[in-house]
């Protein structure tokens, strides 16, 4: 995944979701399972990629609560202070 320096958390998450799930037209309101077709393996891989890319930890109990792309952005921002 190529990201430009200075990209916002929102941009990074949107790009990563698009790349990992092979979808376009991702919005903050997009649900990971219903709208984007992610399964449990996709979600686990996405969370690991987010952890690695953004140097954060996403506990399993939090991962289960992240239903939309916006939920992910909100969580990441709460962890990074952005």
Q: In whole angstroms, what is the distance from residue 13 CA to residue 2 CA?
A: 12
Reference 13, options 60, 59, 36; nearest CA is 36
Is 39 one of the catalytic residues? yes
Q: How many CA atoms lie within 13 A of 41 on its CB side?
A: 0
Considering 11, 19, 34, 39, which one is annotated as catalytic? 39
Reference 76, options 63, 25, 5; nearest CA is 63
Secondary structure (3-state) at 3? coil
Catalytic positions, please? 39
């Amino acid at each position: 995944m190529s990201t430009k320096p200075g990209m916002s958390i929102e941009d990074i998450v949107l790009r990563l979701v698009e790349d990992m799930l092979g979808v376009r037209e991702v919005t903050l309101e997009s649900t990971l399972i219903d709208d984007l077709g992610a399964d449990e393996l996709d979600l686990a891989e996405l969370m690991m990629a987010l952890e690695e890319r953004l140097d954060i930890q996403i506990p399993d109990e939090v991962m289960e609560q992240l239903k939309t792309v916006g939920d992910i952005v909100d969580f990441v921002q709460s962890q990074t202070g952005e």
